[in-house]
Amino acid sequence: MEYFLQQLINGLTLGSIYGLIAIGYTMVYGIIGMINFAHGDVFMIGAFIALAMFLILTTVLGFTFLPVVLLIVLIVSMLFTSAWGWTVERLAYRPLRGSFRLAPLITAIGMSIVLQNFVQITQGARVKPLPPQIRGGVTLMQGSTENGTILVQLSYMQMIIIFTTIVLMAGFTLLISRTPLGRAQRACEQDRKMASLLGINVDRTISLTFVMGAALAAVAGLMFVLLYGVIDFYIGFLAGVKAFTAAVLGGIGSLPGAMLGGLLIGLIEVFWSGYFSVEYKDVAAFSILAIVLIFLPSGLLGQPEVEKV
Amino acid sequence: MKTATKMKTIGDTVPNWDVDPVLSVEHLTMRFGGLVAVGDLSFNVGRGDITALIGPNGAGKTTVFNCVTGFYKPTEGRIVMRHGPGRQDDAVQAVTASGLKWKSAAEGGVFLLERMPDHEISHKAKVARTFQNIRLFGGMTALENLLVAQHNPLMVASGFSLGGILGLPHYKKAQSAAIDKAVYWLERTHLVDRADDPAADLPYGAQRRLEIARAMCIGPQLLCLDEPAAGLNPRESAELNELLKYIRDEHNVSVLLIEHDMGVVMEISDHVVVLDYGVKISDGPADAVKTDPKVIAAYLGVDDEAEIDVPEIRRDVAKVVAAAEAEKPAARRSAAKARKPAAKAGKAAAKTAGAAKADTATAMKLVGQTKSAKAPAKSSASKAKPAAKPKAAAKARSVAKTEPAAKAASPATSSATAAAKAKPATPAAAKPAPGKKTAPAKPAASEIKIANAGDYPGKQPHGTKKPRTGGGNNLTRIKGIGPANEKKLNALGIWHFDQIAAWTKAEIDWVGAYLSFPGRIEREQWVKQAKVLARGGETEFSKRVDKGDVPTSVPGRRGAAPARKPASKGGKA
Amino acid sequence: MAASDTNKPVVAQRGDPNSMYESVKDAAMAALLAGVLGFFFIGIRTDIAPGGLDLKMRWGAWIVAILVVFAGRLLLNLFVYKTRTPVTRSLSSGLPGSENTLAQVGKWLKWGLLAFAVVLPFFFTIFFPSRDRQFIDLAILIMTYIMLGWGLNIVVGLAGLLDLGYVAFYAVGAYSFALMAQYFDFGFWLALPLAGLLAACWGLILGFPVLRLRGDYLAIVTLAFGEIIRVVLLNWYEFTNGPDGISGIPKPTFFGLELKRGEGGFADFFGIAYDPIQRFIFLYYIIFILALITNFVTMRLRRLPIGRAWEALREDEIACRSLGINTRNTKLTAFAIGAMFGGFAGSFFATRQGFISPESFTFLESAIILAIVVLGGLGSQIGVVIAAVVMIGGIEMLRNLGFLQQVFGSGFDPAQYRMLIFGLAMVLIMVWKPRGLISTREPSAVLKERKRIGADMVAQGEGH
């Protein structure tokens, strides 16, 4: 029971990170109907920026008060990663707007390769470790088994991650449902041509979507750095694939679906690792995706596709 | 096949589609969630006929098509496709009971389409279709489009591709035969010059023709066309008519088409089925359907009902209004003056009818008989015989058409209908119907006798020859009732909100059928509205009526009885 | 920000006296953006140092990068984007511009390339005797990708089903042969058809559950399937030897003759002198013939009802069903046949390398194969060839740019930039020609006159 609870907490933490990345996929998919394969690498970029900024603040400028440092790192990495998201869209996707659907998919894969190799060349291929910055936590429960005592711990780090995710999710839901920007976004999702006829600047709305997705990916990147303490240029691929899986599982195009899918994928991975085998956790996640899609071809919360004859 | 009778409905003969139906749709119901797109629909498509399925937008025509061609699985019902002549009732029963999808015999076969996936319906049952918004293979040439349609025979000829890869001569022969067939249909559709052009490059009319040619290339026995004339100019439309007649006459292919262009429908159709809100409202030869008041009502639409010019109903109304007028208390008379057309008609009728009060019933009976004689093939019985077997139903229907009096004896007629259609003196009709708690002191049978009441499913509601003291309510304050409907309701003896509020399901069905808009009463929730208004309450709609915002209702006349408040708001009018 | 106004057509700038000023301003914005983007990556480098991570500032490189972007953007603005006479126009008029002429050239190119491919090994041994091994090896690699591209073209190009996990079948083919050789001592020629069959079976197994899925759902499930296969190969240590891979995979024999030195070998049997190049030439011809078979079968299938049904499926699945085509079987056939060719290529890969490990079957491989198909032009066989030569050949050529080290100093390794350039090339080619290099479609049956069908009419299928 205690073991189960501990795994649940770990799974939710990991799931939050996946969910934040998945939102980027799902928003982009919702608005222009393409898989932004480079989004996982934008997350990786965010992680690198967060790491570098953290080092600048702590070693070069000598800041020591952690909350302020983390806040500045968060803001800076969101801003700079957004610039990357914007540029990727501008260079690789906007010229293909209204073109055939496979073309932006290929440029997205191309962009993903470019970003990975750019970071590999400029920052080196070796992993970058960062010692854990936020230590400690609260012990929720104590149980004993024949092997000794098991503690159910919720670390401060996990609290921060889950709390931030909830705040960001709430904020984004409000943004999409209440603001003119959100309205413009939903209008573009429904019918881009009509939206532009009604005076919505479609290009800017799409750009902003990429910017928002990238900002969320940056948050996820920072959390990843803090939680795992190790990054390299390749983390974007797997995280991206998992997050995309999460987005599809939840029903691509749906924000709550992305979050739900992220949490599910995180839980599946953690529980599979905890109870069965670490090696096959990816297989478990992907298999469950396949199984869910066989029965619900549009994901858990996706709009079922009506076959118009 | 050639011998398929070209028997059309002449006089009292049983129509071809009931004798030799290539397709029978039986009690088809299709629900999407809570929405009933098609409700208990039954009709036949005669072999060698061109059958038109018409109805206003959203009537469920395309849904029927999609059920027939397997794109939707019907919620309930049976769809039988027959190869070979006759009804083959034994075979149909056998296949239905066996749980098989189809059974082929030497001279034909029976296919239960609701059990078959879409591609088998095309491949085995030989039902071809076209689409409302053209679905050609745009990036393939016209010729290739027609070759794709011959996929299944070519697949066999190519030894399921193995022989084809090895380049066996057998396949080459089959391929050139397929090209010949394609060229034949390209010639028939005047497209042979465009054979090597991509389909997306063709002009709209040519694309429509190509789609028909493609459907013909599967060698169908039934061709389903979804609005083939949509977007065509008159010349193209005329060519289409010729093409369809050619397909019917030279290839013995039965055609089922959805069409909005009445010119096309009336010119080429042997048989017309009319749907409205997923329910069949008329079924028969084109001429009969054209004059069916229900069809006219459905087409002219709900809000324009005041414009409906149906002589029979107008006469009914005039008589009853005149009768009521004769006895009207003074208070009521002044109110009625506001309704000029009604009063005028009433007076005109009164002139000829004199003190017609006693004669009303007989007059109406006469009217009813002429009405059913005029439209002999009109089948209003679609809802009335849910339990009947198709064959029996069809027989009963044809009998009923020729001899209304015998209807009560027909085993297929449901007891409800029998009770409702009973003649004035029949004791069954006098028996009080159970479950009428809301109606205050209401006698059982209506005081108004409608001669052909039994033609309509359900039960005629109770009506009084005249309103209660103080005059009738302004029924136009109910959404869905305009002056013309109010008159018709008055003719049925319905004067007050509480009368409508007390209607049972059977009565609603009956009134709906009588007023030629089955289902509308439920949709517009007349009963619910009437209950509110009978209590003296207001609905959103009645407020608008009182303000004079509703052109099809009569403002300022709040009617007598239930109004608690003075008509302060109505003063505007 | 920066370049938002350059998206407008050139016409808008006509006769603008401030063209120079505009160009500079735009270039400055681009440079600013480059500065922002590059700051944390070019300007700063984090490295592992004894006490944790160390920061290193590289202001020089950062400023150079900004200047390069500024200059590049300015030149582009002056000569392409913001001028009335863009240089690209005169360039493109010099080239065979229109789709049709390109297709015409493609027709002749086809036979030219085929002839060259037939004599290729001898061409290299005669004209480049010192580097023939390297060139023939590259030709083998390109030919492998051509074959994979043709195989995937059936699934993506003809049937219109987006498959992001094609490498799985390549892996199944390779591992089937390797394992058959390891456990049952099967030779290449015996294992080849079996590997193809096994891959086809896997195609069916994958195809079955995903048939109902559309578009991007199909894409992610195929991607997931590819990853599942790789992860299983990686972790099933007892069976596949895990990350260590399988080595000692036998080489193919020439009708029982091994291509080895000494007695009983190929050279000995024919009485010629042994040369290691013989083995490369032999391998080249094997993959060449396999690729030709793939092409031949695909071309034949296109003219058969099944091929037409694939293309019809890509155009409109609902119409297909209304014509009695069993779309489930049709899709499965496409999956299985595509997978089979992937399996053939896989076992060739195993025999050529002599060693395989899960490393060789990452998603990147799938992406490269898909890129070749799309860049070449969906459904176009010759397009795949051109794209494979350009992408694979061009990238491998980067390894040979040793002279650049003289320019940039010895720390510069051009091979490092291979994949970066590969990715950029993917983006640029797609932006330049979104429908691929050869995008017209050849009809599969002709009545009177063979007309090519423009790309704008051809659908890309539900899979995208």
SS3 of B275, please? strand
Residue B350 has pLDDT above 50, yes or no: no
- Alpha-carbon gap, residue C282 to C255, rounded angstroms: 12
Chain segment C296-313, per-residue pLDDT in tens: 999 989 888 999 999 998
Mark which of C69, C94, C119 sits at the end of a domain. C94
- Alpha-carbon gap, residue C387 to C422, rounded angstroms: 12
User: Average pLDDT, whole number, for chain B?
Assistant: 71
Which CATH number applies to B16-298? 3.40.50.300
Q: Are B28 and B67 in contact (CB under 8 A)?
A: yes
Residue B517 has pLDDT above 80, yes or no: no
Residues 6+ positions from C76 with CB-CB distance below 8 Å: none
Q: Is C312 an interface residue toward B (CB < 8 Å)?
A: yes
> Which residue did the predictor score with more confidence, A126 or B403?
A126
Residue of B139, B161, B164 with shortest CB distance to C459 = B139
Name the DSSP class of C6.
G
| Structure tokens that stand for A232 in this block | 């390299």
Helix (H) or strand (E) holding B553: none
Q: Is B119 an interface residue toward C (CB < 8 Å)?
A: yes
In angstroms, what separates the C-alpha of B24 from chain C's closest C-alpha? 20
- Alpha-carbon gap, residue A74 to B259, rounded angstroms: 63
Helix (H) or strand (E) holding A153: strand A148-155
Name the DSSP class of B543.
H
Give chain A positions within 8 Å (CB) of B66.
309
Residue A253 backbone class (left: φ over 0; alpha: ψ -120 to 50; beta: rest): left
Does one domain contain both C36 and C128?
no
Residue type, C6: T
Q: What is the mean pLDDT of residues C96-108?
A: 60
Does one domain contain both C71 and C131?
no
Residue A239: CATH number of its domain: 1.10.3470
pLDDT at C130: 79
Closest residue in C to B167 (Cα) is C300
Name the B residues in 203-262 with CB < 8 Å from any C CB. 214-215, 218
Q: Establish if C127 belongs to a structural domain.
A: yes
Q: Establish if A309 belongs to a structural domain.
A: no
Q: What is the mean pLDDT of residues B364-377?
A: 38
Q: Establish if A303 belongs to a structural domain.
A: no
Does one domain contain both C120 and C64?
no
Residue C135: CATH number of its domain: 1.10.3470
Q: Are B395 and B412 in contact (CB under 8 A)?
A: yes
Residue A108 has pLDDT above 80, yes or no: yes
| Structure tokens that stand for C111 in this block | 């036979």
What band does C208 get if pLDDT is binned at 50, 70 and 90? confident
B138 vs C315: CB contact, 8 Å cut-off? yes
Q: What is the mean pLDDT of residues A152-174?
A: 88
φ, ψ for residue C356 (rounded to 5)?
A: -135, 150
Give chain A positions within 8 Å (CB) of C52.
129-131
Domain range enclosing C376:
99-432
What band does B92 get if pLDDT is binned at 50, 70 and 90? confident
Q: Establish if C66 belongs to a structural domain.
A: yes
pLDDT at B554: 61
Does one domain contain both C267 and C320?
yes
Does one domain contain both C279 and C133?
yes
Chain segment A257-291, per-residue pLDDT in tens: 999 999 999 999 999 988 888 888 888 888 888 88
Chain segment A181-228, per-residue pLDDT in tens: 888 888 888 888 888 888 888 999 999 999 999 999 999 999 999 988
Mutation choice for C interface testing from A28, A32, A113 by most C CBs within 10 A = A113
Residue C46 has pLDDT above 90, yes or no: no
Q: CB C388: neighbour CB atoms within 10 A?
A: 27
**Counted domains in chain C:** 2
Q: Is A309 an interface residue toward B (CB < 8 Å)?
A: yes
C7 vs A94: CB contact, 8 Å cut-off? yes
Residue C458: C-alpha distances to residues A43, B143, B400, C311, C352 (Å): 36, 15, 56, 9, 38
Helix (H) or strand (E) holding C330: helix C327-353
Q: Are C346 and C362 in contact (CB under 8 A)?
A: no
Q: Are A253 and A303 in contact (CB under 8 A)?
A: yes
Does one domain contain both C338 and C299?
yes
Q: Are B69 and B129 in contact (CB under 8 A)?
A: yes
Residue B572, exposed/middle/buried by CB under 10 A (0-12, 13-18, 19+)? exposed
Give chain C positions within 8 Å (CB) of B128.
322-323
Please state, for a pLDDT cut of 70, what percent of chain C lies above it.
85
pLDDT at B362: 38
Residue B363 has pLDDT above 50, yes or no: no
Does one domain contain both C313 and C367?
yes
Closest residue in C to A35 (Cα) is C216
Q: What is the mean pLDDT of residues A132-145?
A: 76
pLDDT at C402: 63
Residue B433 has pLDDT above 50, yes or no: no
| Structure tokens that stand for C396 in this block | 């491998």
ipTM of the predicted structure? 0.87
pLDDT at B216: 92
Most confident of A289-298, B301-310, C325-334: C325-334
Closest listed residue to residue C199, CA positions, set C178, C181, C222, C173: C173
Helix (H) or strand (E) holding A185: helix A180-190
- Alpha-carbon gap, residue B237 to C215, rounded angstroms: 38
| Structure tokens that stand for B286 in this block | 């084109």
Name the A residues in 258-297 with CB < 8 Å from any C CB. 277, 279-280, 282-283, 286-287, 289-290, 293-294, 297
By a Cβ cutoff of 8 Å, what residues of chain B touch chain A?
A: 62, 66, 71-72, 131
φ, ψ for residue B456 (rounded to 5)?
A: -105, 145
Give chain B positions within 8 Å (CB) of C449.
196
pLDDT at C295: 92
pLDDT at B1: 40
B131 vs A307: CB contact, 8 Å cut-off? no
> Which residue did the predictor score with more confidence, C44 or A77?
A77
Beta bridge mates, B53: B258, B273
Q: Establish if A32 belongs to a structural domain.
A: yes
Give chain A positions within 8 Å (CB) of B71.
307, 309
C-alpha B119 chain-centroid distance: 28
Mark which of C65, C94, C123 sits at the end of a domain. C94
SS3 of B113, please? helix
**Boundaries of CATH 3.40.50.300 in chain B?**
16-298
- State the pTM of this model: 0.76
| Structure tokens that stand for B328 in this block | 């009207």
Residue B387 has pLDDT above 50, yes or no: no
Mutation choice for C interface testing from B102, B116, B118, B210 by most C CBs within 10 A = B118
Q: Establish if A300 belongs to a structural domain.
A: no
- Alpha-carbon gap, residue C316 to C353, rounded angstroms: 42
φ, ψ for residue A129 (rounded to 5)?
A: -90, 150
φ, ψ for residue A155 (rounded to 5)?
A: -75, 160
Mark which of C94, C111, C133 sits at the end of a domain. C94
Q: HEC string of C125-173?
A: HHHCCCCHHHHHHHHHHHHHHHHHHHHHHHHHHHCCCCCCCCHHHHHHH
Mutation choice for C interface testing from A58, A100, A241, A300 by most C CBs within 10 A = A100
Name the residue with tokens 């809802």. Answer: B383
Name the DSSP class of B100.
-
Q: Is A307 an interface residue toward B (CB < 8 Å)?
A: yes
Chain segment B239-259, per-residue pLDDT in tens: 888 898 898 888 889 999 998
Q: Establish if C460 belongs to a structural domain.
A: no
Please state, for a pLDDT cut of 90, what percent of chain A lies above it.
35
pLDDT at B360: 38
User: Average pLDDT, whole number, for chain A?
Assistant: 87
**Counted domains in chain A:** 1
User: Average pLDDT, whole number, for chain C?
Assistant: 82
pLDDT at B370: 38
Q: Is B164 an interface residue toward C (CB < 8 Å)?
A: yes
Q: What is the mean pLDDT of residues B159-165?
A: 72
